[in-house]
Amino acid sequence: MPYVIAGPCIDVMDRSCIDECPVDCIYEGARKLYISPVECIDCGACEPACPVEAISQDRALEPDQEVHLADNEAFFTTVLPGRDAPLGDPGGASALGVVGVDTELVNRLDAPA
């Protein structure tokens, strides 16, 4: 998985990265954005667009944000709340639209006060 969106995105979701992504691989949950590990081409266009510096390469995550590596992948490989099957490889975020639910990890995290 080339790029990962980590914790600073939770409850912020600026969406600037979506505009910069040339392959439409950034999907929208309810509280966080997620990069498809299959669709991402490792171009890095999304990283500088993020105003909260939530995006980085998988191998450059800060230690306290490494949990988001597996969580980002889980968004596509596990059955999310209210869904019947994993998202898998949807083939583009704009065609799919807002997913509107998040992973177990994000759901467990408290919203900022």
**Would 100 be classed as within a structural domain?**
no
* 12, HSE (Cβ side, Cα atoms, 13 Å): 16
Contacting residues for 70 by C-beta, under 8 A, at least 6 apart: none
Supply the range of the domain harboring residue 58: 3-89
**Would 54 be classed as within a structural domain?**
yes
For residue 66, the domain's CATH number is: 3.30.70.20
**Would 109 be classed as within a structural domain?**
no
Total structural domains in the chain? 1
Residues 110, 111, 113, CA angle at the centre, nearest 5°? 110
pLDDT per position as a tens digit, 54-104: 999 999 999 999 999 999 999 999 999 999 999 999 999 999 999 999 999
pLDDT per position as a tens digit, 36-58: 999 999 999 999 999 999 999 99
